[in-house]
Amino acid sequence: MESEKHYTRKEMIRRLALLFAGTTLSRTSYAKPPLTGHRLTINGMPVALHACRVSAVPFNQVWPGYQRPLDQTELATFATWDMQSEVTVSLTSAVPIRKVAVRPLAAGIKPEINGPTIQFNVPHPMDLVVEINGYHHAIHLFAQPPVTIPLAQRKACTYYFGPGVHEIGKKELSSGDSVYLERGAVVHGCFHAINAHGVSISGRGIIDVSKLERGKGVGAIRLEGCSDCKVSGVILRDPDTWCLSLFGCSDIHIDGVKLIGLWRYNADGIDVCNSQRVVVSNCFVRSFDDGLVVKGKKGAYQHLPVDDVRFENCVVWCDWGKAFEIGAETVAPAIEKIRFHNCDIIRTSYAAMDILHGDGAAIRDIRFENIRIEMDEVHYQPKLQTQPQEVYADEGKGSYVPYLLEARITKTDYSQEERFGTLDRLTVADISISRQPGADMPASVFQGANDRAMIRDVQIHRWKFNGEPLNTLVAARITTDPFIESIQMI
C-alpha cells in the first residue's frame, strides 16, 4: 500500500509539490513533475502554474479496451486568475527562448522578450496560449472576469468545495442542486445528472477526472434529459471520455468553462447531442478528438432534434480530429439552426470545420461566421493506431495540410441508419485563415451522396487567406461534386 512505502526527502518534496499543484498520483496521472521551472506573475504578483497532460502526437483510436500509452503524451501547464482591467503578464522561461507565439494571434498581443522573461499586457479577460520554441509544452493562460457571487451565497450551495483537495467519485445531481468550486479547489471525480431541472455547476476550481478509469466516470460533466441548467467558470481536466456532454437536454448555458489535459482516447471537448436551445460561450477547449461537437445519437433521445445551438466567442485547439464538428452520428429528425460564431481555432488536426452526415437527419440552416483559423507551415498528419505497440511515424516534413471545411453526405463507420439525409442552407462567412507566407491554402470539399441526398444552397462570403480576399472557388481551393445544388461565392 502507498502508506507502507518510505520515500527519500527529495521524492517526498516532489510528491507534495504535485499535490499542491492540483495533480494526482494515480495510474492515469502525471508521470513526471510539472514544468514548474517557468515562473508567472500578474502585475508583479506570483501566480501558480498547474500541470496538465496533453497529446504530443495525433495518434488516436476508437476505444480498444486499454488506455493510451503515456509516451504519446507530454506535460503542459496552465494558470488562471480573475481580472477586470488591464494587467501585465510576466513569464520567466525555464528554457532558452528562440521564439515565442501568443495565441490566438487575432488578439494582437505582441510579447516583449528580455533574456529569459516574456512580458505582455492583457487588456481584458481572455484565454491565451503561450508557445515557447513551438507548440510542445505550451502554457495556457485563463484570465477570467471577477466572481460576483457573495461568499455566503457560494457557501449555501448544495455542494460547496473550498480550497484544497476533495474526493467525490461520480456525484449524481438532482433538480435544483447547485455546485460551487472556489479557486484552489481540486475536486477528483465527475458530475452526472439525469432528468434534472435547474442544476448549476460554477466556480473557479478544477474538476479532475484522472483517478477514474474509462467507464467509471462520465467525462467531467454529463447531463441527460436535463433542462434549464448552467455550467460556468470551472476548469475540467483529464476526462475518461467525452469531457462535457449533453444528451436530450434543453435550455442549457455553458459559459467560461476551460477544458484542458484531454489526452485519453476519444477525449472530445463539448458534445451537444439531440438537444435544443443550447449556448456555449467564452470557453477554451483543448481536445484530443473533436472539439465543439453537435451529434444526433441513436438511443433514448434519437426522437429529439438538435435545434438552436450556438457556439460563440470560444478558443479551440484540437489535437486530433475536427475543431468544429457536426456528426459523424446524425440520428435525429433534424439538426438545424446551428451557429459557430466569432471563434478562434488556434490549432487543428484533420479539419477546422466539418459536417459528416452519415444518417437520415435533415440538416439545415447551418452557419460558420467570423471564424479565425491559424495554421503552421508544417502539420503532423492525424493517424489511427491499429495495435497496442504501434509507434506514430511522421516527421512533419511532408505536405499534409488539414482541411479548412468538409461537408459530406456519406456512410461512415458510425452510421446507424440505411437512409441518407440532406443538407440545406449552409453559410460560411467572414473566414480568416493565417498560415506562414509561401505555405499552401487549406482545401475545402462539398460532397453529396445522390440526387435525393444533396447539399443545397451553400453561401461562401468573404474568405481571406493571410489577409488577401479569395474571390473564386478555385482560389479558395473548394471542390464539389454533381450532387451540389447551388454554391455561391460572394
pLDDT tens for 358-405 read 999 999 999 999 999 999 877 899 999 988 888 998 877 777 899 999
Asked whether residue 249 falls in the same domain as residue 138, the answer is no
Give the residue-averaged pLDDT of 138-142: 97
Separation CA 132–CA 129 (nearest Å) = 10
Residue 130 has pLDDT above 90, yes or no: yes
How high is the pLDDT of residue 36?
55
Question: Of 95, 120, 144, which residue is a domain's last?
Answer: 144
- For 169-199, the pLDDT digits (tens) are 999 999 999 999 999 999 999 999 999 999 9
| Residue 422: pLDDT band with limits 50, 70, 90 | very high
Q: Does 478 reside within a domain?
A: yes
Q: Does 380 reside within a domain?
A: yes
The percentage of the chain sitting over the pLDDT mark of 90, rounded to a whole number, equals 86
Domain that holds residue 455: 242-489
Give the residue-averaged pLDDT of 19-37: 37
How high is the pLDDT of residue 4?
30
Asked whether residue 124 falls in the same domain as residue 270, the answer is no
Residue 20 has pLDDT above 70, yes or no: no
| Residue 65: pLDDT band with limits 50, 70, 90 | confident
- For 164-173, the pLDDT digits (tens) are 999 999 999 9
Residue 38 has pLDDT above 70, yes or no: yes
Q: Does 249 reside within a domain?
A: yes
Question: Of 106, 126, 144, which residue is a domain's last?
Answer: 144
- For 438-480, the pLDDT digits (tens) are 778 999 999 999 999 999 999 999 999 999 999 999 999 999 9
How high is the pLDDT of residue 28?
31
Residue 13 has pLDDT above 80, yes or no: no
Residue 312 CA neighbour count, 13 Å, CB half: 10
Q: Are strands 73-82 and 50-55 parallel, antiparallel or unpaired?
A: antiparallel
The set of residues, in sequence order, having a beta carbon less than 8 Å from that of 122 and lying 6+ positions away, is 83, 86, 87, 88, 89, 109, 128, 141, 143
Residue 457 CA neighbour count, 13 Å, CB half: 10
Give the residue-averaged pLDDT of 235-259: 98
Q: Does 216 reside within a domain?
A: no
- For 325-358, the pLDDT digits (tens) are 999 999 999 999 999 999 999 999 999 999 999 9
- Determine the 3-state secondary structure of 19 from DSSP: helix
Q: Does 281 reside within a domain?
A: yes
Asked whether residue 271 falls in the same domain as residue 136, the answer is no
Asked whether residue 405 falls in the same domain as residue 269, the answer is yes
Please tell me the total count of domains within the chain: 2
Asked whether residue 329 falls in the same domain as residue 472, the answer is yes
Calculate the average pLDDT of the chain.
Answer: 91
Residue 13: which CATH number?
2.60.350
Q: Does 182 reside within a domain?
A: no
Burial 381-405 (b: 16+ CB within 10 A, else e): bbbebeeeeeeeeeeeeeeebbbbb
Separation CA 250–CA 276 (nearest Å) = 5
Asked whether residue 315 falls in the same domain as residue 424, the answer is yes
Residue 17 has pLDDT above 60, yes or no: no
Q: Does 430 reside within a domain?
A: yes
The percentage of the chain sitting over the pLDDT mark of 70, rounded to a whole number, equals 93
Asked whether residue 260 falls in the same domain as residue 119, the answer is no
Residue 8 has pLDDT above 60, yes or no: no
How high is the pLDDT of residue 14?
38
Question: Of 144, 159, 193, which residue is a domain's last?
Answer: 144
Q: Does 55 reside within a domain?
A: yes
Residue 40 has pLDDT above 90, yes or no: yes
